[in-house]
A and B are shown apart, each in its own frame.
Chain A
């Protein structure tokens, strides 16, 4: 007989950990909670008191140094190199595929911040933790500019939906997430003190930010020059003692080893150090955390999930039961798990999930973010120690305001912030030289014969400690054709891999071009002596490059969302407003796949806030 738990949570990242920690703390009840995590539990220094060593390192070689090769038959990029962190999925063992809508020539891909480790993607993220603007919850019904280019609202294959909850519903959970996770930043404008975030902020839950890196002043100047309100970017890194998680005040947290690194000291507020570990210490015995366990499929009995089948650290098949089952293993993997489960039981669970129906919404409206920006080398010879930084200093919601959308014919807005620690370390500088995404690592450096001897010195003189970028994170149009399906390429357990069929809606291109230009304007205004690219001057310091990330190589996106959206209409959504799968009484999905629109900001905080909301719902039903 399988072990029985009150709640089984699949995934320990932003979607799963808030629920585990909340239910473990439930007063007057002692629930048995199981968290199944595919990846290992890598230790911080505190987690390993015997030797004091962490399994995470400030080590560029460990992080993404060696070249690996894609070795999958039947894909378009087999034998191509890739470089990935030691906590990302192994592309050969657990590939995702990606193709355009023609479904021809799929290539192996990995998403930028998907990590297989206790803590999930929050171990790897840059920790930018913004709330979504209020308007982003109601993009179907909110006023919108007339005459949108390639109007997505007029496209019958596009289905823009309001969220079934609004900002006000999520507000208390944003506050809870910011308090419990541990985030530094400001609500107000850094110069005027006026409210600067483009959403209601009745309560400030942030820790004080660190002193900004001096290079960020150029970005601040530029944002101010275009009339923006500017706040300190909320970052999930503690700067003070954090009582909810029991983490002491950091000694020295500024370091370039944050974005895309696991933190050996636990200052970066991943879900292990901020939520799961404190819950397990405060309520011993309530959470059973099993690392290295891959859930293979769910089994239904009637309208309930009766068993969760998984492979343990050796690969032995196991199963458990739970009164409640929560799937939170990142958007693509959650959709894939539901699809694989439906194939295992086509007449039972498959029917409940409507897996084979033509109109099934499962896997449809997969989303990433419209992403891009502008960058430059500061032209006047000044350089800064960018290793003494967190990932961003200044942010603005200026492009989420309706007047901006109206003036620029955009359907939805974006957060804009400067990147401070990018290219701060020598290997990273070379690895990302000329790269437009994580998929083109080393190509700019490797392919430039001039970067040799004196030429290399000249390049480093120009770029080391001088690079400054400003990025945007914007909504992508939800398009039915953008979908997740199953492929015949098998993972290491001989299961079908996920196949992402995705392209960009024509309006997405307008969004990205417009916002990249704004980022360029910020740098132009903020840094005297800079000029636009394409003015006939060869690439050198002071020439601003701008562009967007369409994802053309190995990595499809930084953020993956949608695919099992929630809504009030069971015909067009997979989840009900509580994030429960329609027609299945005890199955909830809480990672980013629930989102009907992708939000104009980094999504992790919203995933965490929604999980805290679902935890409150589960307290009533478990």
Chain B
């Protein structure tokens, strides 16, 4: 495994630019408590704490720059030093953080491989602390809670369990147009633009991964909806086809359930979740977003969603009506100026 390296700290102003909007405040009201989950936790005060640590582009292909920030409270004594340990380096190796003069912030920027997920703790005054801003946490094998981050293109499941991912995969397949004859024709067409290592045109794996990541970070507040509703869906499907695993029920049974979720679902416990259509709308949004947003977010694997649109939609001259490559950075796109 490639270990993270420390990026030379040369730009305090850039770190302030990352921090001030979301971290500078006097008001202690809850701003993002994840449905009460962080009530009483200082992390609930930050409205977009999921932006931390900051994951940014790096000039080394295959890496991200990750800026980890320790913010002391305004009334808190200034610590002599702040350090960091994490799975991106040997755990015994304390990485010192740099203090931005006349500020509340300490930071270090690391060059971390893409597609990785890490645990970390800050060391302040001899004691170890979770990140005071980032709401992502993870337990280790001994039950200790660490803070967590993941870099771009990470595929390791983080919040959705195996059975949840399987059910979700059915939703994705049902919503997206990649199981249609048109898509299959695209797949079989001569000069198929898909890379050889992409598994058919099925976006399910990529989009489910995208949803897993968005629920781990930006939309963590929606995780509970997935937990309840996917459980209810499993229950309903088991009742209807008791001899089949829920993710393998017939297409007809799944289609029927999908239709019912816009209104009444027989067998659905409305005391647990009153409005199945709300969940369905959320899944639809996440599915589309995952299939057609930048591949670095975990969906749209190898840009197959964009490639499908590029191939299908043609302008009057026969060229593509979605030449996404011209605007996007290399090597994914062909733009010579924009580096991503």
Contacts and interface: CB of A to CB of B under 8 A. Distances in A.
Contacts of A311: 24
A315 B338 contact: no
Interface string A298-314: 00000000000001111
Contacts of B47: 68, 71, 90, 92-93
B192 interface: no
Interface in A418-456: 426-427, 430, 442, 445-447, 449, 451-454, 456
B175 to A, nearest CB: 5
Q: Which of B19, B177, B182 has the most CB of A within 10 A?
A: B177
Interface in B282-299: 282, 284-285, 288-289, 292-294, 297
B34 to A, nearest CB: 10
Interface stretch (A180-188, A380-388, A468-476, A571-579): A380-388
A387 B327 contact: yes
B154 interface: no
Contacts of B179: 453
B24 A453 contact: no
B323 interface: yes
A35 B121 CA distance: 38
B26 interface: yes
A71 B326 contact: no
Interface in A42-68: 42-43, 45, 50-55, 57-61, 65-68
B285 A442 contact: yes
B59 A52 contact: yes
A73 to B, nearest CB: 8
B20 interface: yes
Contacts of B328: 58
A182 B176 CA distance: 43
Contact of A387 (B176, B316, B324): B324
B315 A61 contact: no
B140 interface: no
Interface residues of A, number: 74
A457 interface: yes
Contact of B59 (A51, A386, A460): A51
B180 to A, nearest CB: 5
Q: Which of A71, A386, A491 has the most CB of B within 10 A?
A: A71
Contacts of A427: 288-289, 292-293
Contact of B322 (A42, A61, A65, A465): A465
A292 B103 CA distance: 12
A426 B305 contact: yes
A252 B337 contact: yes
Contacts of A451: 284
A507 interface: no
A492 to B, nearest CB: 4
A291 B13 contact: yes
A218 interface: no
B32 interface: yes
A194 B339 CA distance: 42
Nearest to B16: A313
B175 A67 contact: no
Contact of B25 (A251, A460, A493): A493
Given A291-B16, A314-B103, A452 B174 contact: yes
A249 to B, nearest CB: 11
A51 B219 contact: no
B275 interface: no
Contact of A251 (B59, B258, B337): B337
Nearest to B45: A492
B320 interface: yes
A257 interface: yes
A292 B306 CA distance: 37
Interface string B11-53: 0011011111110111101111100000000000001100000
A494 interface: yes
A314 B24 contact: yes
Interface string B204-238: 00000000001000110110000000000000000
Contacts of B14: 43
Contacts of B27: 93, 490-494
A551 B337 CA distance: 38
A41 B327 contact: no
A398 interface: no
Nearest to B72: A314
Interface in B224-272: 258-259, 262
Contacts of B262: 449
B339 A52 contact: yes
Contacts of A73: 29
Contact of A453 (B21, B33, B180, B339): B180
B321 interface: yes
Contacts of A453: 174-177, 179-180
Contacts of B65: 51
A69 interface: yes
Contacts of B281: 442, 446-447
A464 B314 CA distance: 10
A39 interface: yes
A71 B340 contact: no
B323 A61 contact: no
Interface string B169-186: 000001111011011000
A388 B56 CA distance: 27
A315 B25 contact: yes
Interface in A470-494: 490-494
The 3 A-B residue pairs whose C-beta atoms are closest, nearest first, are: A40-B17, A292-B20, A66-B218
28 contacts: A40-B17, A50-B10, A52-B339, A61-B297, A71-B30, A71-B31, A93-B21, A93-B22, A93-B31, A292-B16, A292-B20, A312-B102, A313-B24, A315-B25, A315-B26, A316-B74, A384-B321, A385-B321, A387-B323, A426-B288, A427-B289, A427-B293, A442-B281, A457-B177, A465-B322, A492-B24, A493-B27, A494-B26
Interface of A: 39-43, 45, 50-55, 57-61, 65-69, 71, 73, 90, 92-93, 116, 214, 251-252, 255-257, 264-265, 291-292, 294, 311-316, 382-388, 426-427, 430, 442, 445-447, 449, 451-454, 456-457, 460, 464-465, 490-494
Interface of B: 10, 13-14, 16-22, 24-27, 29-33, 47-48, 56-59, 65, 74, 102-105, 174-177, 179-180, 182-183, 214, 218-219, 221-222, 258-259, 262, 281-282, 284-285, 288-289, 292-294, 297, 305-306, 309, 313-316, 319-324, 326-329, 335-340
